[in-house]
Chain A
Amino acid sequence: MLEVQGLWAGYDDVAVVRDVDLEVPPKGATAVLGANGAGKTTLFRAIVGLIRPRGGCMRFDGEPLSGRAPHEVVRRGIVYVPAERELFPQLTVEQHLELGAYCVPGAFRSRRQLAYDLFPRLAERKRQRAGTLSGGEQQMLAIARALMASPRLLLLDEPSTGLAPRLVAELYRLLAALLREGVTILLAEQHVQAALKFCQRVYVLKDGRIAYGGPAEALRGNPELSRTYLGESRGSPDPTVGPP
């Protein structure tokens, strides 16, 4: 679905993502793992056009993606949910959903109920301003807003950051529901175990380069291997299990 070849990207004179090859197959979840500063966010920002890649090529459904403006990327069906969420603090939950459907005529009416079905907590807070929601609710709203644009590929950057373990488990149940709806997911995560459990395919970024790319089971069943690639995440607890 999404193919990235030899991608270089960064800021000013610093290359953060170096020569990255990545492939996201349709109808499933793919994870990008790696420590803080490994280049996960930069990779995502380059894919959706928020920063201009230095080199390499990207294709979505066979069509070139490089150099497109971010609003065009959204229209093609790739929607990005950044770790910062980027909500509008003064607008209500419902207004967010309306804006999420901005580029898909009629989507607000047809998809609003889907969003509220997936996130009943948001349905209870329709008229509440985003700035007054809790961290977990804000994350839900960011995802719900992204869903309104009828994405075929959803890019989630650290969706579980700052969430209590119970909420992380709930979040992953929701993401599983999205997969069943036919949405493809590309996920950046620091909760390695949760991501390995959820995704079929995994890439490990280290200093901006791909250190491992392949099926998730290879890392899942092999703590040695996963320790080699994900050095500092050793012993990171599985947040879906909850506190002992």
Chain B
Amino acid sequence: MIGIVLDGVVQGLQLALLSVGIVFVYGLGGVLNLAHGQMAVAGGLAVAILLQARWTPLLASAAGVVAAGSVALLLDRTLLRPAYTRRGEERLLLGLILTLGVSFALDGVYALWAPNIALTLRMPTLSIEVLGVRVRTASLAVGALSLVTFVVLLAFLKGTRVGQAIRCVIQNEVGAVLCGVDVERVRTLTVFLSGLLAGMAALAQGYFSFLGPEMGSEFTILAVIVAVVGGVRSLTGTFLASLLLGLVNAGLSYAVGTYLTWIALLAVAVLTLLVRPEGLLAYWP
């Protein structure tokens, strides 16, 4: 039982890494990035390829995270530009279609170039004893990685000038412009940041179990479910929803199997929309 809970918490933390990027870009840029999962995969595949080229794991991981960020940056600077010139629903719709196209294109590229590359990182010690339960060190590493990342992210948002700008653009873009905030730069930075976080999520997935080139859409869907449950403008909500869904996922995977678990996760999202359409926490922290 403790094992399942622990597993759920770790999965939840990993889910948080994955989802916070999609929430960020939606809340700030008004674009729901349907290629978010593919960006994560880009990072994971980069790590796998670099490891094959005999880079040290640490260096390869860092490069992979930067690679995922770079894909996001490229998308922001090129394809998303026409979406940014529009506002409200028009931007959302154009963003959806553009990023959906990008997700197909990237899936195709991965299938063509890296069909057999997968990322599994082996930790030196496989499992240790915690609270009387055997826990894989990989789980602990993933949990620690996610937690530290989240704390750093919060400190960045609350404690720095740029973080302050990001928070105020999320609340009111025009208001931020009137204060002299360069919204375009803040947005680009945010998209880059979301790519970095997606890369870290892919890395975590590689540590935890396995990451394949075809997993992009799965990641995106998971992130969207978390965003719906947590509220699309709330970082804390995203964190709580990730933990909740991680626990649901771990518990049900154990009890009823993986396929039914997917249905259950979607059901949680639907239920949230019906009962509390603004998400667990409607607003920023």
A residues engaging B (CB < 8 A)? 48, 50, 69-71, 74-75, 79-82, 84, 86-91, 98-100, 102-104, 145-146, 149
| Closest B residue to A146 using CB positions | B178
Q: How large is the interface on B (under 10, 10 to 19, 20 to 34, 35 or more residues)?
A: 10 to 19
Q: Are B284 and A90 in contact (CB under 8 A)?
A: yes
Q: Are A71 and B171 in contact (CB under 8 A)?
A: no
Contact of B164 among A50, A69, A70, A99 (CB under 8 A): A99
Question: Counting CB contacts under 8 A, is B180 at the interface?
Answer: yes
Main secondary structure of the interface of B (DSSP, over half): helix
Give chain A nearest CB distance to B206 CB in angstroms.
37
Contact with A along B159-184 (1 / 0, CB 8 A): 00100110010011011111111111
B150 interface residue (CB < 8 Å to A): no
| Distance from A60 Cβ to chain B, minimum over Cβ atoms (Å) | 15
A-side contacts of B165, CB under 8 Å: 102
Residues of B within 8 A of A80 (CB): 178
> Do A90 and B179 have beta carbons less than 8 Å apart?
no
Check B283 for interface membership: any CB of A closer than 8 A.
Answer: yes
Inter-chain contact B180/A86, CB cutoff 8 Å: no
A31 to chain B, nearest CB (A): 21
A91 touches B168 (CB 8 A): yes
29 contacts between A and B (CB under 8 A): A48-B178, A50-B174, A50-B177, A70-B177, A70-B178, A71-B177, A71-B181, A71-B183, A74-B178, A74-B180, A75-B180, A79-B178, A80-B178, A84-B174, A86-B172, A86-B174, A86-B178, A87-B172, A88-B168, A88-B175, A89-B171, A89-B172, A90-B283, A99-B168, A102-B164, A102-B165, A104-B180, A145-B179, A149-B179
Determine the residue in chain B with the shortest Cβ distance to A75: B180
List B contacts of A71 (CB < 8 A).
Answer: 177, 180-183
Q: Enumerate chain B residues within 8 angstroms of A90, measured Cβ to Cβ.
A: 171, 283-284
Chain A residues lying within 8 Å of B168, measured Cβ to Cβ, are: 88, 91, 99
B282 to chain A: closest CB distance in Å? Answer: 10
Residues of B within 8 A of A99 (CB): 164, 168, 176, 179, 181
Complex CA distance for A98 and B163, rounded to whole angstroms: 13
- In the bound assembly, the distance between CA atoms of A87 and B283 in angstroms comes to 15
Whole-angstrom CA separation of A85 from B57 in the bound complex: 52
Residue contact A102 to B283, C-beta cutoff 8 Å: no
Could you tell me the distance between the alpha carbons of A75 and B182 in the complex, rounded to whole angstroms?
11
**A69: which B residues are within 8 A, CB to CB?**
182, 184
- Chain B residues with Cβ below 8 Å from A104 are 180
Q: Chain B 55-82 against A: per-residue CB contact (8 Å), 1 yes, 0 no? A: 0000000000000000000000000000
